[in-house]
Amino acid sequence: MTEFLSTRQVAAVLDINPGNLQKNIWLGNVNSPSKGPSGQYLWTIQDIEGAAWALHCYERFTQWQSKLDSWDAEQAAKRGKQTIIGGRQ
């Protein structure tokens, strides 16, 4: 399942004002991500990476992505260490 972030969350990742992110989408400086049924933007990792390049925030994006990757690895390790009780996991 693909996970999405909101525009506010993306702005926090890139350490910019959400209004500036919206303005850059409107001006065409950032490609707009797809919209959900409610009309809000649904940001994928690829959308965030594109915005980071366009807004010269790529270093912040890579820092966030490395934290995300290490968190994913920790979660996978925890799932692998689950104990089996009574033959069931």
Rounded to the nearest 10°, the torsion over CA 38, 39, 40, 41 is: 130
Average pLDDT for runs of 10 along the chain of length 89? 84 94 95 94 94 91 85 75 50
Q: Which two tokens stand for residue 41?
A: 């933007």
**What is the predicted pLDDT for the residue at 30?**
95
pLDDT value, residue 66? 86
H-helix or E-strand spanning residue 63: helix 58-80
CA distance linking residue 17 with residue 8, whole number of Å: 8
pLDDT at 74: 77
Q: Is the dihedral of CA 59, 55, 15, 4 positive or negative?
A: negative
Those residues whose C-beta lies under 8 Å from the C-beta of residue 78, and which sit 6 or more positions away, are none
Domain extents in the chain? 7-78
What's this model's pTM, rounded to 2 decimal places? 0.73
